[in-house]
Amino acid sequence: MRTPVIAGNWKMFKTLEETKAFFQELGNMEFPSQVEAVVCAPFLSLPWMGEHVSNKVGVGAQNCHFETEGAYTGEISLPMLQTVGAKYVILGHSERRQYFAETDEVVNQKVRAVIAHQLVPILCVGESLAEKEANRTNEVVKEQVVKGLADVSADDAKKAIIAYEPVWAIGSGKAATAEDAEEVIGYIRQVLAEIYDQTTADAVRIQYGGSVKPENIATFLAQPNIDGALVGGASLKAESYAQLVQNAVQGGK
């Protein structure tokens, strides 16, 4: 019912030449049709990806501005992303919240703009280690979800993807257990039912992210509420990316 989506987040890795080499290595590898495969690459790789590999993977960006144009030095707009064939935009990643001071309010403006331009937002939420240790995980993710989706209608929310990425699991090699991730993601679905209704909550795809590897992806996907993964490091090598997509199917979705 909810098609799992496996998205690579390449962060600030790969020149255009390296992007081309990745897809050349990926070659004609067939991906299972049961999953949606996405790569969110640096902006400079997107035009080439849109032209050459968008039939194979969904093309995604890692950020955007919420205005369509204007005096915003260094920013990229949604019409620009549309013209190169991007279909997804990661928003509110913890690295942007931490290093670029993105607030829930700004993330919300971006979520609404992405949906208005018919792209799919991947809204990232997740608690820090200190928040986890203070037993504040549910409170933190609830606030991020509620504020991130403020003024988004139920029909629009259904088009969004939420990525639960505990900050302590990102790049640490210490993934959450599938059971713990399922518990928080189940809670996020409950929050969606409170904001909207059960039908909407059941339609939204929620990914897990944080040290996902080809070896552990199936355990996450086997959980009833986990609809995919947002993967950093393990998505950077073609072989590993292909394995992630293939192994996701073993999750039984």
Name the residue nearer to ligand 13P (CB basis): 68 or 177: 177
Continuous H helices in the chain: 16-26, 46-52, 78-83, 94-99, 104-116, 129-133, 137-148, 154-157, 178-195, 198-203, 217-221, 238-249
Q: Which residue is nearest to ligand 13P (CB)?
A: 232
Q: Please say which residue, 152 or 217, places its beta carbon nearer to ligand 13P.
A: 217
- Tell me which of 36, 93, 95, 127 is the catalytic residue: 93
- Min CB(39)–ligand 13P separation in Å: 12
Residue 165 known to be catalytic: yes
Q: How far is the CB of 54 from ligand 13P (least distance, A)?
A: 21
Q: Which residues bind ligand 13P (CB under 6 A)?
A: 9, 93, 165, 170-171, 209-212, 230-234
CA distances from 148 to 1, 129, 137, 151, 185 (A): 24, 21, 16, 9, 16
To ligand 13P, the closest distance from the beta carbon of 194 in angstroms equals: 26
Instruction: Indicate the residue among 209 and 214 with the shorter CB distance to ligand 13P.
Output: 209
Instruction: Please name which of 182, 251, 183 lies closest in space to residue 215, comparing C-alpha atoms.
Output: 251
Q: Which is nearer to ligand 13P, 210 or 251 (CB)?
A: 210
For residue 218, the number of C-alpha atoms closer than 13 Å in the C-beta half-sphere is 9
Let me know if 117 is a catalytic residue. Answer: no
Pairing of strands 205-209, 228-231: parallel
The catalytic site residues sit at 93, 165
